[in-house]
Chain A
């Protein structure tokens, strides 16, 4: 095990994040994201958990569109959007150029920034997967944050590779041929972890202390890092604006969205639902699952159980790597103390 992770990492407290926001705002209000959208909370938590300067690259998507309506912008940091499929490739160029200038030295003395990419599940699971894979393979030092809201929300709720089984979208309608999406999501976090990068994790827009700690761990690891953050979408999922956090909480408590991290290839669960709830509790919170019958719900439960047990097998196999050091002491996610707003 590398020496990195013997150092505990603590989340930035909610108060400290608020103070950071006050002193040095990086993502401002007045953007056009929907009421109840989880994206701004995720972005603020990520950016306010990072010390020193940041540079942001943004893939096409809700975040990009709603925060840069000319002549206004919500971004108070260097920010670059190129297109849908290439955020990680663009960041590769920025990071490599910064590294080259730094190596050359001379007059280039600015503090080295943290490089952060934000992309939705469309720009990450699907059209941007190739450029993400290339960037991870080359080992650029950057943090890629996928705000995963489980469909293409910006273009009107079409299915993505992140869409859960049974979900109604514009391209997986409910009718005679199909009853919502016939397939579950692809396990992008595992795909990313398979690139043998220092750090990959799943987080959520329900425990922001957990998210903050994972951001800080990701940056501390000093290489390519990836966070997959389940982020609620009132329009696409079908819930009222104030329910988003509670809906994501059910995803975590049912095991549909496990919270875990993969540190140098070793899997570690960061929150264990106890007891793990029936997936019905998640499905019942949203209209996109309203059409599902008992058999379909049972099939979804089966896939959630299967995926959960596969994950637990890995976690169990890797447990001894974490027992040897004090990484467990940096847990922010203790038992049932889920929740809390960052601001």
Chain B
């Protein structure tokens, strides 16, 4: 392995390939376009499929189709395209179709700030499609994590049979950092383990694409484990959704998706994720050097929200500061989880500028002062 300068989008592509991705369908959009272009270069020589689609509706639909055709499929986009993909993300959820969607966040809503970073899609990634669904949303705060997170997304998509969203942002995507990435595995036929043919195609059973022992009916209508529509009241889908949501909530690789920094003796802590966690880390270092007992909870999994880690921190500290590049999104569920056990403050912005360590440190000091008085 050699250390070299790698762009976040390129690292995400390598992570996807390491995770077994052999199908990409996409549509260019700033700041995610490099993922499309890199996939266009990388996949065909490996025997994979690269499709440039006519829009993001088509991109996500092709990903769903590709999964049922037997591929490890993904797409990547940014806010406006992510909005268009919501219909098919919901379809992938109700049909238990494993796939990966990278959303490189930029300022919004609408066209917004095409070249500037944001963290404004946090709630859309969870609730963007109508109805209830199991949701796995991961994020990354470095180029290296863009690699590891995307690789992990494919494992989780297969394990839980559901679309997995990776939230990056315009800075992580375009930033170059020196990293050592493991060599890519040789392209290999990577068939789905599938079922024996006696198990039903849906519910808590392995994903079996078309071409298996028995024909499968796949529909966005509410359906039973056999796949046939059940559209009367008392639908079987509710139980399958509950099972899937419970399965995600109990997966330790998701519930433990938190990194603690300087938390052992912390009396006040930042909750941050993505690029903002990098600045929060520097802020905590500054405050520690000044003798303040500050800590950081860096969230690598946003959904399901790591509730146990948040509760544990809430019992320990006098105040939590949620820092994010939006006008107040993840702070809402954090407040709901903490439930008054400690004071929860918010620091956010949505003007395309990063939150600097200095600003975070000052806000944390103000929080410390207010909870002491």
Contacts and interface: CB of A to CB of B under 8 A. Distances in A.
A262 to B, nearest CB: 24
Contact of B37 (A65, A83, A161, A170): A170
A2 interface: no
A337 interface: no
A129 B45 contact: no
Interface in B48-64: 50, 52, 54-55
A84 interface: yes
A171 interface: yes
Interface string A257-276: 00000000000000000000
Given A127-B27, A129-B54, A171-B52, A156 B41 contact: no
Interface in A190-213: none
A159 B55 contact: no
Q: With a 10 A CB-CB cut-off, give which of A82, A127, A129, A159 has the most chain B CB atoms.
A: A127
Interface in A83-97: 83-85
A155 B41 CA distance: 17
B229 interface: no
A170 B40 contact: yes
B54 A161 contact: yes
A175 to B, nearest CB: 8
A171 B40 contact: yes
A176 interface: yes
Contacts of A113: none
A277 interface: no
Contact of A171 (B30, B36, B80): B36
Interface string B184-225: 000000000000000000000000000000000000000000
Contact of A127 (B54, B111, B114): B54
A127 B33 contact: no
Interface of A is mostly: loop
Interface residues of A, number: 23
Interface residues of B, number: 20
A177 B30 CA distance: 27
A245 to B, nearest CB: 28
B110 interface: yes
Contacts of B36: 158, 171
B37 A177 contact: no
A27 interface: no
Contacts of B37: 156, 158, 170-171
Contacts of B41: 173, 175
Contacts of A171: 28, 36-37, 40, 50, 52
A21 interface: no
Contact of B111 (A60, A155, A158, A159): A60
Contacts of A85: 55, 84
Contacts of A81: 111
Contacts of A175: 41, 45
B111 A83 contact: yes
Nearest to A170: B37
B40 A177 contact: no
B29 interface: yes
Contacts of A177: 44-45
Contacts of A159: 52
A158 B80 contact: no
Interface in A231-250: none
A113 B130 CA distance: 40
Contacts of B114: 65
Nearest to B84: A85
Interface in B40-94: 40-41, 44-45, 50, 52, 54-55, 80, 84
A83 B40 CA distance: 25
Given A155-B29, A158-B37, A83 B54 contact: no
A118 interface: no
Interface string A158-195: 11010000000011010111100000000000000000
Contacts of A156: 28, 33, 37
A226 interface: no
A173 B52 CA distance: 13
Nearest to A125: B54
Contacts of A60: 111
A49 B80 CA distance: 35
A116 B122 CA distance: 38
Interface string A10-41: 00000000000000000000000000000000
A56 to B, nearest CB: 17
Contacts of B28: 152, 155-156, 158, 171
Contacts of A82: 110
Contact of B33 (A83, A155, A161): A155
Contacts of A178: 44
A161 B55 CA distance: 12
A126 interface: yes
A158 B17 CA distance: 22
Contacts of A152: 28
B111 to A, nearest CB: 7
Given A83-B110, A85-B55, A127-B27, A158 B44 contact: no
Contacts of B84: 85
A158 B55 contact: no
A155 B36 CA distance: 11
B80 A83 contact: yes
A196 B27 CA distance: 30
Contacts of A170: 37, 40
A158 B52 contact: yes
Contacts of B44: 177-178
A173 B41 CA distance: 8
A271 to B, nearest CB: 31
Nearest to A159: B52
For the complex of A and B, 8 pairs with smallest distance between CB atoms: A127-B55, A155-B28, A126-B54, A171-B40, A177-B44, A158-B28, A171-B52, A170-B37
30 contacts: A60-B111, A82-B110, A83-B110, A83-B111, A84-B55, A84-B80, A85-B55, A85-B84, A126-B54, A127-B27, A152-B28, A155-B29, A155-B30, A156-B28, A156-B33, A158-B28, A158-B33, A158-B37, A161-B54, A170-B37, A171-B28, A171-B36, A171-B37, A171-B40, A171-B50, A173-B40, A173-B41, A175-B41, A177-B45, A178-B44
Interface of A: 60, 65, 81-85, 126-127, 129, 152, 155-156, 158-159, 161, 170-171, 173, 175-178
